[in-house]
Amino acid sequence: MIKDKKCLKHKSPSRRKFIKAAATTGVVAVAASSLAAPAVAADRVEIAMVTTWPRDFPGLGTGAQRFAQRLTDMSDGRFQVQYFASGERVKAFDSFDEVASGNAQMYHAADYYWVGKDKAWGYYTAVPFGFTYTEMNAWIRFAGGQQLWDELADKFGLKNFLCGNTGVQMGGWFNKKIKSPKDFKGLKMRMPGLGGQVIGKLGGSPVSLPGGQIYENLVSGAIDATEWVGPWNDEIMKFQEAAKYYYYPGFHEPGSALAAGCNKSWLESLSKSDQTMIEAAAAMENDVMMAEYNAKNGAALARLINDHGVKVMEFNDKVYDGFAKASEEVFEEVQASSDLAARTHASFVKARKDIGGWANLSDSPYIRQRNRALGV
């Protein structure tokens, strides 16, 4: 027993040291954790994103929502994006001013909605006889398009990135056959951007409406015709219930790019890493959205024809030549509107010739011959 007591007495200092060390370690650990938590909180980035799309609208709306979620995921939750669909914070067409003023940090929209502010904005979504998706990417990334876009956006305190594309669009929904350019006279047609100005040159009345208002205006007769996107989105909008004829191809939007527009001062306040993360997330959505439209348009077109009896019609050469002539008149006015618009148009024309010349020997003839040989 005495021996055991001695052992206990002998070991008690070690025990006291152990307890003291453990306590010290615990204090250090708690201190470390208490120091780390504020650092994470301080690094959190709050982002209000306004958009021009209805919530959960397939393609356009869900693509914008996917982009917002991707920002949160890529940052491990540091980016906290509060997403506002059209009308939830501001009206669709007020998104630009909400971000330019700094009230929100970012918008997702089609930049041709802003041609009333500067006609050059139209080139960054789509213009008549403009770029396809692949051509637009080439122009923006490697042929001077981004630099001109930056110059334009900077005038309004913005910095914009490609963030989606819907591809070649259909020509529109009509309740009468379009046999010549004269058939547009007196026609009230929903078509924004420079394409709408072409309709005006042909004697029509272009109307700019956000997506959520098109169906009711078409059904009520407030407008006679409309374009929107393509089979997948148009079927969801139920335009087949309000119009008989579905024309193709759309001269006005051969590859409609969508944009993530950021308040420039806010963006530049972020680290270079965070700025790059936003650009990368936008680039990813640019690719993913186009893939989704390509995957879903074909099946939707088949349903419109087979299930709904829609008559799909091709614009004849006379009509298309009328579009081309009117487009040149519109482009002359665009170039005269400002030096930047003129330089943007010159860059666009050069890229269309260079990039389009290659497409004319690559994509176009291959697809034509493949489909001919296989009976597609």
Q: For tokens 């597609």, what's the residue?
A: 376
In a domain, 134, yes or no: yes
Quick one: pLDDT at residue 42?
Answer: 54
In a domain, 21, yes or no: no
Contact 255, 140 (CB under 8 A): no
What is the distance between the terminal CA atoms of the chain, rounded to a whole angstrom? 98
Quick one: pLDDT at residue 35?
Answer: 38
Per-10-residue mean pLDDT for the chain, 376 residues long? 41 46 44 38 87 96 98 97 98 97 98 94 97 97 98 98 97 97 98 94 95 94 97 97 96 97 98 98 98 97 97 98 98 96 98 94 93 95
In a domain, 175, yes or no: no
In a domain, 96, yes or no: yes
Quick one: pLDDT at residue 85?
Answer: 98
Query: Residue 55 belongs to a domain with what CATH number?
Result: 3.40.190.170
Strands 45-51 and 79-84: parallel
Number of domains observed in the structure of the chain: 1
In a domain, 335, yes or no: no
Residue 110's domain comprises: 44-165+255-293
In a domain, 60, yes or no: yes
In a domain, 368, yes or no: no
Quick one: pLDDT at residue 212?
Answer: 86
In a domain, 99, yes or no: yes
Quick one: pLDDT at residue 43?
Answer: 87
Quick one: pLDDT at residue 12?
Answer: 47
